Amino acid sequence: MKQPKAHLLQSIAVAVILIAVWEGACRVFDISPIVLPTPSSVLVRLYALFTTGMIWPHLWATLIEVLSGFVLGCVAGLVFGAMISLIPVFERLVYPYLVALQTLPKVAIAPLFIIWFGYGLTSKIVITALVCFFPVLVSVIAGFHSTDKDQLDMMKAFGATKWQTLTRLRIPSALVLIFAGLEIAAVLAVIGAIVGEFVGAQVGLGYLVVTLNFGMDVPGVFAVLIVLSAIGLAMHGLMRYAARRYIFWIRRSEAPVMT
């Protein structure tokens, strides 16, 4: 148990040193706060954003977009992934179009969604869902393909029906890769919501970044970025926790590493 503790201390030490160098460099070279604000000024701004209550409506809006988009995208990814994996006709008819859709850069079609779904939360939720959809879809398909051949033989030798093989072997086997996909989607969800807000919004952390940037409040922009990465880390952590709970048989060292 000593090893992880030592590693944690080292990581913290690196962070402290980096922030100290950043702070020192800004002061020694007298860098303009518009170019690079000092960490201390960012922290002060971050504190102010919360105490003045300015950030709350934006934070809520973004959280709603991220969470609903994530859930919608993941559910759609799971459903389509399962259908493509289990129904051959579906794979032939639908999968090529889904792949074609995936090749479209989401940022480029975001303005269309604003036109179709308006400036409100709906357009951002749709964009987020679309961004989350593909990693989940691909991981579900890969997951169903990853069933161990020997275990399939084993089920067959013991006289399992197709349905029993599906529920007792193929779905649990697929979970390992599905959770890897969910982890990626969790992080992408934040990006999706912010992209949507950049293109057109009246509220949200992405909208706040654009506004603060416009007002040359660079420490404010940094402060919002910290909040955004905190949301991303929390989403990722949540999925890691769920993965460890539901696919407990994969030891940590073997768990898919996703960033």
Instruction: Give the angle 199-204-208 at the CA atoms, nearest 5°.
Output: 80
Nearer to another protein, 148 or 237 (CB): 148
How much is the CA Rg of the chain, to the nearest whole Å? Answer: 22
Is there binding between residue 157 and another protein (CB under 8 A)? Answer: yes
Contact 39, 22 (CB under 8 A): yes
Contact 185, 130 (CB under 8 A): no
Contact 93, 35 (CB under 8 A): no
Nearer to another protein, 214 or 249 (CB): 249
Site for another protein (CB under 8 A): which residue of 29, 51, 150, 253?
Answer: 150
3-state SS, 222-256, equals HHHHHHHHHHHHHHHHHHHHHHHHHCCCCCCCCCC
Applying CB under 8 A, what is the total number of residues that bind another protein? 20
In the chain, the amino acid numbered 164 is Q
Is there binding between residue 154 and another protein (CB under 8 A)? Answer: yes
Nearer to another protein, 35 or 157 (CB): 157
Site for another protein (CB under 8 A): which residue of 19, 75, 160, 242?
Answer: 160
Measured distance CA(111)–CA(95) in Å, rounded: 25
Both structure tokens of 29: 């070279």
Is there binding between residue 255 and another protein (CB under 8 A)? Answer: no
Site for another protein (CB under 8 A): which residue of 27, 148, 233, 241?
Answer: 148
Q: Which of residues 171-230 bind another protein (CB under 8 A)?
A: 172
Q: Which of residues 230-249 bind another protein (CB under 8 A)?
A: 247-249
| Of residues 35, 2, 21, the one with CA closest to residue 213 | 35
Is there binding between residue 164 and another protein (CB under 8 A)? Answer: yes
Nearer to another protein, 102 or 151 (CB): 151
Both structure tokens of 113: 């969604």
Contact region with another protein (CB under 8 A), list: 2-10, 48-56, 161-169, 232-240: 161-169
Where on the chain is the footprint of another protein (CB under 8 A)?
Answer: 148, 150-151, 153-161, 164, 168-169, 172, 247-249, 251
